[in-house]
Amino acid sequence: MSEQHSLSSVLACPRCGRGPLTPERAGWMCGACSSGFPVIGDVPWLFPDPRQSLAEWRGRTGLLVQHLASEAAAMRAAAGATDVGATRRRLELTAAAHDDQVTRLRALLAPLGLDLASISEATHDGIGTRLPIEQGLTNYYVNLHRDWAWGAEENAAAIGEIATVLGGGVAGLGKTLVQGAGAGRLAYDLHAAGDSPLTVATDFNPLLLFVARELFAGRAVDLHEFPIAPRTLEQHAALRRLESPGPARAGLELVAADALQPPFADGAFDTVVTPWFIDIIGEPFARVAARINLLLKPGGRWINFGSLAFARAAHADRVGLEEVRELLPRAGFGDPRVREAEIPYMRSPASRHSRREVTVTWLTQKTGAPAELPRARLVPDWLVHADRPVPRTPAFEMQAISSRVHAFLLALINGERSMRDMARVLVEQRLMSSQEAEAQVRIFMTRLHEDSETQ
């Protein structure tokens, strides 16, 4: 590939934001601030603080593996305790699949250095860093199977929507960035069907990236699928072969990065594609649009595809299509060409559960600079520098009080006290009035019990 179309032609240092990145023997190096960035599992790991993000993902992987293993043990115990034959068979099958999945994930994610993940689930719970369920490796796990096992109809619909909004085909996209590319199928299909000299698929989740790496190289990966509403007993855990149609042609690259601190030079791309991305990134739409503008050359194109589901954003940021149309010009984009279509979504053949989504696809062209420049993710000084004092903010103060009450109540559980006894202690300690203590203890204990059941 020519220098002009190489990966380094689009990269910039995610730490200082200025320097070009050049490949070195063991990774990438910034020409301005001399920061180094590793390659992990053959994927350039271009986070501003690569060691920190590696530790975070390693921790999440360690927890996932522990969680799967402890689930397998719990299933085996439950299998031993039931006399319902089909239940026992289901539990044995899913327990074996969980154990096998642990082995597969360990092998796939070995480049993260799993032997260094030493924190237990209980410790993570205690210090509140138990991330897998909320922000874990398996958040978009089903996408792997949709992309590379059973999702032909959905994958075809995705590239079909994009081709239609482009006027019939995906040729001429030029240097293309696919943001939040997930397991990578759309990036692979766009690169295969089009003529881009360089398509960069980026995401921050190493599980998705490492699977994409294998599939882009034409190698298969076997992983279990655990459907949420299995159709049959056997389908509670289905070992799937993830396969691509073949190795990708040259120029399809993977980059591990945080989209809010992107390691790409301003104006590096002719096209940016955001599939099912803008409503999960957690930033107001105006800022996401401005960020995308910066990545584009003058006249470059932004193709968005997916849902507009901002229900968890702040009220003013729950934008719909009408607001998108009003906000795009402020972010330096022209009038969009918009398409809406209802398509199948995550229809695993092993599951009774599936969705149809009314997707929005738009194509818009960069006409100028955004009215407001997107800020880098704001990280306070004391979080960047491990030796700075951590301020006791009002929010931290509140958290400390509630944790103390929580710890106090937990310490009262000694196998002998009843809820009434505990309420009496709270009243004696002047933590609550006698009118409310018993009801509050009951609420606390109910939640504790429910949490323990769901875990």
Ligand X SMILES: C[S@@+](CC[C@H](N)C(=O)[O-])C[C@H]1O[C@@H](n2cnc3c(N)ncnc32)[C@H](O)[C@@H]1O
Q: Among 37, 210, 277, 285, which residue interacts with ligand X (rule: CB under 6 A)?
A: 277
Q: How far is the CB of 437 from ligand X (least distance, A)?
A: 43
Taking each helix axis as running N to C, give the angle between helix 185-193 and helix 206-216, from 0 to 180 degrees, rounded to the nearest 10: 30
Q: Among 260, 425, 432, 445, which residue interacts with ligand X (rule: CB under 6 A)?
A: 260
Give the binding range for ligand X (CB under 6 A) out of 28-36, 66-74, 80-88, 272-280: 272-280
Closest to ligand X by CB, 59 vs 236, is: 59
Give the binding range for ligand X (CB under 6 A) out of 81-89, 180-188, 313-321, 363-371: 180-188
Measured in degrees and rounded to the nearest 5, phi and psi for residue 334 equal -85, -175
Q: How far is the CB of 395 from ligand X (least distance, A)?
A: 23
Closest to ligand X by CB, 201 vs 441, is: 201
Reading the block at residue 114, the tokens are: 């799993």
Q: How far is the CB of 21 from ligand X (least distance, A)?
A: 18
Beta bridge partners of 195: none
Give the binding range for ligand X (CB under 6 A) out of 174-182, 217-225, 315-323, 329-337: 174-182
Query: 230 and 38 in contact (C-beta within 8 Å)?
Result: no
Q: Among 259, 286, 331, 426, which residue interacts with ligand X (rule: CB under 6 A)?
A: 259
Query: 319 and 310 in contact (C-beta within 8 Å)?
Result: yes
Rounded to whole angstroms, the Cα distance separating 299 from 329 reads 13
Query: 291 and 374 in contact (C-beta within 8 Å)?
Result: yes
Q: How far is the CB of 287 from ligand X (least distance, A)?
A: 13
Taking each helix axis as running N to C, give the angle between helix 50-81 and helix 206-216, from 0 to 180 degrees, rounded to the nearest 10: 90
- The DSSP-derived string for 177-196 is EEET-TT-HHHHHHHHHS--
- The DSSP-derived string for 135-167 is H-TTTTHHHHHIIIII-HHHHHHHHHHHHHHTT
Query: 21 and 8 in contact (C-beta within 8 Å)?
Result: yes
Told to check if 254 binds ligand X by CB under 6 A, we report no
Q: Among 14, 151, 180, 206, which residue interacts with ligand X (rule: CB under 6 A)?
A: 180
Told to check if 201 binds ligand X by CB under 6 A, we report no
Reading the block at residue 34, the tokens are: 């001399």
Q: How far is the CB of 261 from ligand X (least distance, A)?
A: 8
Told to check if 361 binds ligand X by CB under 6 A, we report no
Told to check if 188 binds ligand X by CB under 6 A, we report no
Q: How far is the CB of 330 from ligand X (least distance, A)?
A: 23
Q: Which of these, 261, 327, 328, lies nearest to 295 by C-alpha position? A: 261
Q: How far is the CB of 277 from ligand X (least distance, A)?
A: 5
* Binding characters for ligand X, 144-173, by CB under 6 A (x = yes): ------------------------------
Please identify which residue in the block is written with the tokens 């990236």: 209
Query: 92 and 79 in contact (C-beta within 8 Å)?
Result: yes
Give the binding range for ligand X (CB under 6 A) out of 34-42, 108-116, 254-262, 400-408: 254-262
Rounded to whole angstroms, the Cα distance separating 306 from 411 reads 48
Q: How many residues bind ligand X (CB under 6 A)?
A: 18
Pairing of strands 269-275, 296-306: parallel
Q: Among 16, 39, 281, 448, which residue interacts with ligand X (rule: CB under 6 A)?
A: 281
- The DSSP-derived string for 87-140 is HHHHHHHHHHHHHHHHHHHHHHTGGG-GGG----HHHHHHHT---HHHH-TTTT
Q: How far is the CB of 352 from ligand X (least distance, A)?
A: 22
Closest to ligand X by CB, 181 vs 360, is: 181
- The DSSP-derived string for 191-246 is HHHS--S-EEEEES-HHHHHHHHHHHTT--EEEEE--SSBSSSGGGSEEEEE--SS
Told to check if 302 binds ligand X by CB under 6 A, we report no
Q: Among 140, 150, 264, 333, which residue interacts with ligand X (rule: CB under 6 A)?
A: 140
Give the binding range for ligand X (CB under 6 A) out of 87-95, 177-185, 423-431, 442-450: 177-185
Closest to ligand X by CB, 341 vs 427, is: 341
Closest to ligand X by CB, 274 vs 440, is: 274
Give the binding range for ligand X (CB under 6 A) out of 204-212, 213-221, 309-317, 421-429: 204-212
Q: How far is the CB of 259 from ligand X (least distance, A)?
A: 4
Give the binding range for ligand X (CB under 6 A) out of 21-29, 64-72, 168-176, 253-261: 253-261
Told to check if 268 binds ligand X by CB under 6 A, we report no
Query: 262 and 186 in contact (C-beta within 8 Å)?
Result: no
Q: Among 181, 272, 289, 426, which residue interacts with ligand X (rule: CB under 6 A)?
A: 181
Q: Among 101, 199, 205, 348, which residue interacts with ligand X (rule: CB under 6 A)?
A: 205
SS3 302: strand
Contact footprint for ligand X (CB under 6 A): 140, 143, 180-182, 186, 203-205, 208, 258-260, 275-277, 280-281
